[in-house]
Structures are given as structure tokens and as C-alpha cells.
Amino acid sequence: MNRSSKPIYVIGICAGGVEKLPLSLQELIVSAERIACPARILTPLTNWWHKTEVGKKLPELFDSTNTNELIHWLKSQNQKTILLASGDPLWFGIGRVLIENLPNREIVFHPSTTSLQLAFARIGRPWQDASWISLHGRDPSPLINLLKKRPNAIAILTDPKLGSPKQIKHILESAELDKIYTFWIFERLGHSEERIYKIMPSQKLPESIDPLNIVVLIKESIPIHQKTDLPLFGIEDGLFIQHDDRPGLMTKREVRVQILADIELPEEGVIWDIGAGVGSIGLEALRIRPKLKLLLVDKRVGSQKLINENAVRLSVKPSVIIESDIERLLEQGTIPKNVSKADRIILGGGEKRDLIGQLLERLNPKGIIVIPLTTLQSIDQIEKIFNDWGCILKISQHQNYRGIKIGKATRLSPMNPVFILKAKLI
């Protein structure tokens, strides 16, 4: 670092302008020999100077709007120089660019309140668990990936072209998460013209939105839907409660629909959902055929409670939910007698070749077992097991895409391909 050059002081200011800064920072500005700031700050700065420093000449002012010109100008300065910026210069601001391009200069940062802090203050919510992302001049793909993790709160610095509030709402709807997140729009935070909108899933965005805005998404508890509010099947992924540490790890709607078709649900009988996860497949099956007896088994801690909560959301009542390993249940013979034999079996949670034979022993004649897989590494061994049991085996592969709005266009975002094995016992 070149100590012979005087430091560059980077001062973040809020919407209130220079006059709202602490007195020590105002005095630092007055002592400057050179000042750079964006064009929108130049006039308020000049007015403040003439009001507070009557008779004192303004230092040299430089418009910092063009970043390349700003860097070139700063490199040529050897006087006491101040750069005024918005909020916290090190939070999606000019700070990173300065550090990268002026490695030999001492830079002293004095941040102000960020728009994120102001937004959460306005709605009275802590923000230590919030994720944040900037869409300024960026592709919205990082937001799509972030939503898959279902964070509790997301603050988004918007972009008028590819990352507008309208675009963000389209992405939320495409991901089927619009019923999970409350959509907040904050316009001109800290200004006298400040406006705040809380948009519910059924509401449209305002006709006119100020370009100076940020969007905040807050994950809410999903209201309990009545049975009449939902489709018979093909329920949106976002309706299901999921494990907090493994968000998005569930059978997606498009695949569920195919499995429910392949399983050929009888009007009555017993259906097993093994490796049930959040219970989405079995619970939807129960909506279609409410007279079925449904056994759901998943070994993950907390799965029983989670599946019960999802059952309430779907207004169905499974016969038995067991939080245990299916191998242990079969070995110990502890499956309740009323569901001890199955007419239909869904085997999820990954491939378990050694388990297939045991399940076929519990499958009634003409019963069907469906196995969704993400890989086909051992398809020949699985096929041999079914052939030895005299099953009719069908294998299909399903690759689905979901449309994501990118500006005025639509991008098809691929989902993981799934292979579905369907075996019918003769």
C-alpha cells in the first residue's frame, strides 16, 4: 500500500443526504480537497455546502457515475479525496471495484444503512437469517437456485430489465413457491416518497413501480387448504411442508402425476409408500382413492410429524405412518395387521435391490410395484429379480422442464430426469 498517497475516504449516505450524516463525517467532507459522487447527489451536496459552509469555496467535484472514468480519476489524485456512495459501499456497491482496481491505495470506508436493513426495519422483522442477491445486470439463474433452498427470507436488489419485481414474481410462480412467500416491494426507501407494498399470492403487482426499489420475500406458514381448494391430484410442490435441512428434496409434481398413473390405483385395498419422504405420493393417492388404506414408512427423524402435517393440508387421513427403516419392520414383523399385505407399493428413497424380493413377498396377486430412480446403474439386476418373480416389467424415462420468464422470453429450466420401473405381479 502506498502510504505516500493520502487515503481515499468512501462515505455511504442514506436517502436523507449529507446533512443526515454524523457531524464527524460532515466535517471530514468539509476538509476534503476533492469530492466524487454520483450525478444524483451533486445538486443536494452543493445545496448543503452553500447552506452550511457560507463563503467557503467548494472543492473540485467529480461525477462518479461512470465507473471506469472514476477509477482513472482516483488513480490521479494525491490530495485528500472523498467518494460519496449510497448505503454501504461494500454491500453490492462501489467498494469491491475500488479494492480490486486501487490495490496500492489506502481506502477508508464509512458505511451507512443499507436498503436491506431499512426494509426489514420497516416490517419489524429480524434479518440475520436473510439471504440476499443482486440482479443488477445479471442473469436471474442464481435466484432460481437460491429459491430451491427455500430460505426464510430473501432480499433482492432488482434490475429493470431481467430482474424486475414482475420478473421475480414470475420466477416465484414458475417454481410453485408463490404460496409460500409473502412478496414485499419497497420503493424509494428513506425518501419522502417512500412506498411499501405487501403482495399476497392472489394479488397483482401495482401498475406502476418506481425503478428505485428492492424486493423482499418472507417465507410464511402455509395456510391450511380445504379439500375443495386443491386439485384432485397434481398438487403444487410448494404446498407440502418439507424438511428444513433438505428443502426441495421431494418427488416433483410432474413425476408424482406419472407415478400415480403407473400405479393403477384400485378403488379399495392397501397401498404402501416406502421411503415416503414428505408423503406427497401416498397422500395424493389417498385423495384420488379415499377408500384405500395407506401405509407410509420413512426412516428420517421427524418424518412422521411432517407427513401428518401434510396430511392435514391435503385433508386426508392415512391408516398408518411409521418412522422407521422398512427392513427392520419386515424383519421384526411389526407392520400392523390391517396393512400387512399390499396391493400397490411405491418404493422411493433410492434404489434398494435387496429389498425388492421382500416387498414382492408382501404384494398380493396382480399387485403393482413402482420404483422411481435417478440412475440406472443396476437395472439388469433389478430386471432379473422381477423376471424371476414372473412380473411384467415396464421401464420409462421422464425428462421435464419448467418455463422461467426471462424478460419477455421464456427459458425452459430442466428438472432432473427420472426413470420409472413398473412391475406387475402375475
pLDDT average, residue stretch 45-66: 88
Q: Are residues 304 and 359 in the same domain?
A: yes
Q: What is the 3-state secondary structure (H, E, C) of the chain?
A: CCCCCCCEEEEEECCCCHHHCCHHHHHHHHCCCEEEECHHHHHHHHHHHHHHCCCCCCCEEEECCCHHHHHHHHHCCCCCEEEEEECCCCCCCCHHHHHHHCCCCCEEEECCCCHHHHHHHHHCCCCCCEEEEECCCCCCHHHHHHHHCCCCEEEEECECCCECHHHHHHHHHHCCCCCCEEEEEEECCCCCCCEEEEECCCCCCCCCCCCCEEEEEEECCCCCCCHHHCCCCCCCHHHCCCCCCCCCCCCCHHHHHHHHHHCCCCCCCEEEEECCCCCHHHHHHHHHCCCCEEEEECCCCCHHHHHHHHHHHCCCCCCEEECCCHHHHHHHCCCCHHHCCEEEEEECCCCCHHHHHHHHHCEEEEEEEEEEECCCCCHHHHHHHHHHCCEEEEEEEECCEEEEEECCEEEEEECCCEEEEEEEEC
> Pairing between strand 107-110 and 130-134?
unpaired
CA–CA–CA angle 402, 408, 410 (5° rounding): 15
Q: How many CB atoms lie within 10 A of CB 12?
A: 24
pLDDT mean across residues, the chain:
89
Q: Are residues 75 and 123 in the same domain?
A: no
% of the chain surpassing 70 pLDDT: 94
Task: Report yes or no: 321 and 335 within 8 Å, Cβ to Cβ.
Answer: no
Tens-place pLDDT, residues 60-73: 999 999 999 999 99
According to the model, what pLDDT value does residue 138 have? Answer: 80
Structural domain includes residue 343: yes
Check whether residue 374 and residue 287 sit in a common domain.
yes
What pLDDT shows up at residue 55? Answer: 76
**Considering the entire predicted model, what is its pTM?**
0.67
- d(CA 247, CA 150) in angstroms, rounded, equals 6
How many independent structural domains does the chain possess?
3
Could you tell me if 269 and 398 lie in one domain?
Answer: yes
More confident residue, 412 or 378: 412
405 with 264, same domain: the answer is yes
pLDDT of residue 247: 64
Is the pLDDT reported for residue 139 higher than 60? yes
Domain that holds residue 338: 253-425
Looking at the structure, do residues 404 and 264 belong to the same domain, yes or no?
A: yes
Asked if residue 185 has pLDDT above 90, the reply is: yes
Give the per-residue pLDDT at 4. Answer: 52
N- to C-terminal Cα distance for the chain?
Answer: 80
Q: What percent of the chain shows pLDDT beyond 90? A: 60
pLDDT beyond 90 at 373: no
Q: Is the pLDDT of residue 225 over 70?
A: no
Q: What's the CATH number where 352 sits?
A: 3.40.50.150
Q: Answer yes or no: is 232 within a domain.
A: no
Give the CATH number, domain containing residue 211: 3.30.950.10
Residue 18: pLDDT over 70: yes
Residue at 122 is within a domain: yes
Sequence letter at residue 179: K
pLDDT beyond 80 at 352: no
Residues 144, 82, single domain; the answer is: no
Task: Specify if 242 maps to a domain.
Answer: no
User: In terms of domains, do 278 and 211 share one?
Assistant: no
60 & 154 share domain: no
pLDDT tens, residue by residue, 243-262? 766 666 789 999 999 999 99
Q: Give the pLDDT of residue 161.
A: 80
Do 132 and 264 lie in a common domain? Answer: no
Position 99 pLDDT exceeds 90: yes
Q: How far apart (Å, rounded) are the C-alpha atoms in residues 200 and 184? A: 9
The pLDDT of residue 231 is: 84
- What are 108's strand-pairing partners? 9
73/160 same-domain check: no
pLDDT (mean) for 142-150: 86
Cell reading at 56: 467557503
Residue-level pLDDT at 353: 72
- Determine which of 39-43, 220-224, 228-232, 379-383 has the lowest per-residue pLDDT on average: 220-224
Residue 386 lies in a domain: yes
What is the sign, positive or negative, of the torsion defined by CA atoms of 333, 335, 336, 340? negative
Determine, yes or no, domain membership for 264: yes
Name the more confident of 71 and 163. 71
- Of 78, 95, 113, the last residue of a domain is 113
Longest dimension (CA), the chain: 100
What mean pLDDT comes out for the span 126-148?
A: 88
228 part of a folded domain: no
Residue ending a domain, among 86, 113, 140, is 113
Most confident of 229-233, 279-283, 376-380, 402-406: 279-283
Let me know whether 311 and 388 are in one domain.
yes
If pLDDT is split at 50, 70 and 90, which confidence band does 3 have? very low
* Residue 30 C-beta-side C-alpha neighbours within 13 Å: 17
